[in-house]
A = this chain, B = another copy of it.
Amino acid sequence: MMTLEEKFRALEADNAPGQEVRRKTGDLNSIMRGEKLDGIPVDFSHGDVDAFPPAPGSSEAWKNGFESGGQQAYTEYRGAGRIREELADRLGKFTGKLISADRELIITPGTQGALFLALGATVTSGTKVAVVEPDYFANRKLVKFLGGEIVPVPLHYQGDPSDNGPDLNRIEEAFRSGTKVFVFSTPNNPTGLVYSSSSITAISTLALAHDVTLVVDQLYSRMLYSGEVYTHLCACDTQPENLITIMGPSKTESLSGFRLGTAFGTSKLIDRMERLQAIVTLRAAGYNQAVLDTWFQEPDGWMEKRIREHEAIRDELLGIFRAADLVTATPQAGSYLFPQLLPLDVEPSTFVRLLRHQAGVTVTPGTEFAPGLSDSIRLNFSQDHAAAVAAARRIVRMVEIYRK
């Protein structure tokens, strides 16, 4: 049994995206080589919603929510019925899965909220949970907070695209040896890898066979690049009994400031998630829920343009990193890049702090995504194009300065 002290050590958040402002930098001056590098500071730890502003109509939708008063301030814990009705329909069309608005859908405070509720509803002391490495950092922390046991599953992402993907043998092995829950993101955070149709089918079939609950985080599934194909597990022919799919408008649509997410799937689990939400936050902020009315309803061409602009940034940054021999997988979707650094004279964690201090570039260390990946860094490239390119060049310059 973990003490509270141990439990909260496992939740250490000093390197989490957005928390960099709390770090001390006093010791860096004695380590720093040369001068500070000029350039517009870029915070790659999250997307820049000033460069890619919120989807059109969001503040107007919020105002409608506010003006509808009490009914929107105090919704059911799972979210306003009218909004869920319309959303279930649109999410159903996007994923190819019929969703019951009444029984199978919950609105949450962000997709982070959805993840917490989904794992809170399925993980307790001793529950074995398969977690992909690398994957979104909160997955591992959530399992630890809930007292579960992590069963790591490797993701291959740097090889030949046709060999890449989650290690299906390790997944089967985990499922055979008592794993009860499998949580993963596709597109993968931090690599941008999209699970292939055959991987998705295999995972779904294995989960059914071994009665494993699946929690599939599809946060970035709308931002799919040219020529890529996305497979929705929830629409597979063969499915496990317990399945939760998570989506939200925070990323591609730049609506993170509203803290809105959704989860849909097995009614029994959605019920549990609502009960948990009742004691965690009651509900997603009432007026904000109305902003979901704009989701999957963006003006014609808006999403296509946004994807095209991100793809252009992706391609230019990939070129810069690869020219400098930093191995970097091609993101198939989403706005994350996960370059691998070269061997350095300083600890990777120090290098990340130097990047911010000396080069004005904030990135998230790879260790947030898998304990062993200290030589990689994650960038959210949803940024001003020119500033991102200049900042990527500064990263390369910094690698040269501190190279072993």
Contact = CB atoms under 8 A, between A and B. Distances in A.
Contacts of A74: 18, 46, 49, 256-257
Interface string A134-150: 00001001100101000
A344 interface: no
A1 to B, nearest CB: 6
A2 B48 CA distance: 44
A31 interface: no
Nearest to A147: B125
A346 interface: no
A280 interface: yes
Interface string A1-27: 111100110011100101101100000
A50 interface: yes
Q: Please indicate which of the listed interface residues A16, A49, A138, A257 has the most CB atoms of chain B within 10 Å of its own CB.
A: A257
A275 B142 CA distance: 11
A39 to B, nearest CB: 18
Interface in A109-135: 109-110, 112-113, 116, 120-122, 124-126
Interface in A82-121: 109-110, 112-113, 116, 120-121
Given A73-B257, A259-B109, A121 B8 contact: yes
Contacts of A278: 11, 13, 16, 19, 138, 141
Interface stretch (A61-69, A192-200, A221-229): A61-69
A70 interface: yes
A355 interface: no
A274 to B, nearest CB: 7
A138 B279 CA distance: 6
A374 to B, nearest CB: 20
Nearest to A114: B281
B59 A11 contact: no
B257 A66 contact: yes
Contact of A282 (B147, B259, B275): B259
A77 interface: yes
A155 B63 CA distance: 43
Interface stretch (A161-169, A285-293, A304-312, A396-404): A285-293
B49 A275 contact: no
A76 interface: yes
A357 interface: no
B70 A59 contact: no
B256 A73 contact: yes
A288 B109 CA distance: 12
Given A4-B121, A8-B272, A282-B259, A49 B77 contact: no
Q: Please indicate which of the listed interface residues A75, A138, A279, A280 has the most CB atoms of chain B within 10 Å of its own CB.
A: A279
Given A3-B124, A21-B76, A113-B281, 10 more contacts: A1-B124, A2-B124, A11-B275, A11-B278, A13-B275, A16-B278, A112-B279, A147-B147, A281-B281, A285-B288
22 contacts: A2-B124, A7-B124, A8-B271, A11-B272, A18-B76, A18-B77, A49-B73, A62-B66, A65-B257, A66-B257, A73-B254, A74-B257, A109-B109, A116-B280, A120-B145, A141-B278, A141-B279, A142-B279, A145-B279, A258-B287, A259-B281, A259-B288
Interface of A: 1-4, 7-8, 11-13, 16, 18-19, 21-22, 46, 48-50, 53, 59, 62-63, 65-66, 69-70, 72-77, 81, 109-110, 112-113, 116, 120-122, 124-126, 138, 141-142, 145, 147, 254, 256-259, 271-272, 274-276, 278-288
